[in-house]
Amino acid sequence: MGITKSVQKLVAYTPGEQPKCRGVVKLNTNENPYPPSPKCLEVLRNFDLEYLRKYPDPVFIKLREAIAKRFKTTIEKVFVGNGSDEILALAAKAFVENDESIGSLDPSYSLYKTLADIRDVPWGGFDLASLSRTSRAARTSSPSLFLLTNPNAPTGMMKGPSEIEDFAAKFKGVVIVDEAYADFASENCMHLATKEGNENLIVMRTFSKSFSLAGLRVGYCVGPEKLIEAMYKVKDSYNVDALAQAIALVAFKDYSYMRSNVKKVVAEREKLTAALVSRGWDVLPSETNFIFAKPPEGQNAADIFAALKEKKIFVRYFPGPKTGERLRITIGTPEQMAKLIKALSSFH
């Protein structure tokens, strides 16, 4: 009673487990193992309570100015959300009619399908090449919003900017390139988002991974003014709180600190990949802060997931035909990776 039919049948998104017990090696939600910029702590220590008494800047001008400056664009092309998850939900509101649909790669970030279910519109999994080849007539039934994780999750693999640009040029709806992991990659698409003539491509990033601020809940996106303006129309008045705006701003300005942590994570990613490959694992080439790895013949991903959990090492397992043979392992500190390798070696 009272609850809409679509919500009654909705299967909610399940985020990765946040274990409460101590001594856990947490490699299951792609958080950064290193702390955020020390400048964030200064902001917290000196935060004037007056800024909590009053409402925050509804359009986060200072943060937008910093983002616009870094990417050599204007604040009209920048939007900030309560985590990039909020931006995705707002896009599903602003860019999809009730009789349209949402598309993404498959496998990809599983929240996308849940967002379509919440909107009560169909979701479809595609590969870019086949969608681009579809004839114009058939494309009337193609999605009006494409959520394109690049590099992808959980595979960790990426498509080059020229392939993304070609795809967006042929696509009739809005393309959001979800670059949650792009700071760990060798290339990215931000230049496409700010490019003259771009009308349908938005690039989205988050403070949760490379900036080590998953608990703060700040994400941002850059794209054509018309689309960005639409997102401002549908957002809550005060979607990013005062403390989050202040902390995200200093973290963003401390870009070199973020880059140095990224370097450490990338080095560890390459070390872990080599270590697993030498033990017979198949590891997809990753451009992110995680790897998607298949155990050697005779070993089973689900069993290893459970056995690691017994040892308080949390990784992520996605059952299903496209993902069930592999484990997604977040890159941690050298100490955490050593514990992982030691535990894996004990299963032989």
* Positions in the binding site for ligand PMP (CB under 6 A): 83-85, 109, 149, 153, 178, 180, 206, 208, 214, 219
CB of residue 87 to ligand PMP, shortest distance in Å = 8
Minimum gap (Å) between residue 54 Cβ and ligand PMP = 26
**88 vs 313, beta carbon nearer ligand PMP:** 88
> Among residues 112 and 281, whose Cβ is nearest to ligand PMP?
112
CA–CA separation, 295 and 289 (whole Å): 19
Measured CA to CA, the distance from residue 189 to residue 330 in angstroms comes to: 23
Measured in Å, how far apart are the chain's first and last C-alpha atoms? 53
Classify 120 as helix, strand or coil.
Answer: coil
Q: How far is the CB of 149 from ligand PMP (least distance, A)?
A: 4
How many Å apart are CA 243 and CA 246, to the nearest integer?
5
Residue 111 vs 192, nearer CB to ligand PMP: 111
Q: Determine the residue type at 330.
A: T
Residue 292 CA to residue 324 CA, distance in Å, equals 11
Instruction: Give residue 146's Cα distance to chain centre.
Output: 15
For residues 219 and 295, which CB has a smaller minimum distance to ligand PMP in the complex?
A: 219
Using alpha carbons only, how large is the chain's radius of gyration in Å?
21
- Whole-number minimum distance, CB 128 to ligand PMP, in Å? 16
Contact present, 140 and 173 (Cβ < 8 Å)? no
Q: Which is nearer to ligand PMP, 189 or 344 (CB)?
A: 189
Nearer to ligand PMP, 80 or 344 (CB): 80
* CB neighbours of residue 83 within 10 Å: 20
Compute the least distance from the CB of residue 176 to ligand PMP, in Å. Answer: 10
Between strands 290-294 and 123-126, the pairing is unpaired
Q: φ and ψ at 215, to 5 degrees?
A: -75, -15
d(CA 19, CA 89): 26
Given the complex with ligand PMP, which of 71 and 344 has the nearer CB atom?
Answer: 71
CB of 90 to ligand PMP, least distance (A): 12
Is the CB of 206 or the CB of 336 nearer to ligand PMP?
Answer: 206
Burial of 301 (0-12, 13-18, 19+ CB in 10 A): buried
Place of tokens 């059952």: 319
Q: Tell me if the bond preceding 154 is cis, omega within 30° of 0.
A: yes
Residue 324's CB: how many other CB atoms inside 10 A? 13
The residue whose Cβ lies closest to ligand PMP is 83
Token pair 């950064």 is found at: 32
Least distance from C-beta 137 to ligand PMP, angstroms? 32
CB of residue 259 to ligand PMP, shortest distance in Å: 19
Cβ closest to ligand PMP, residue 121 vs residue 180: 180
Q: How far is the CB of 154 from ligand PMP (least distance, A)?
A: 8
Tokens of 160: 């080059």
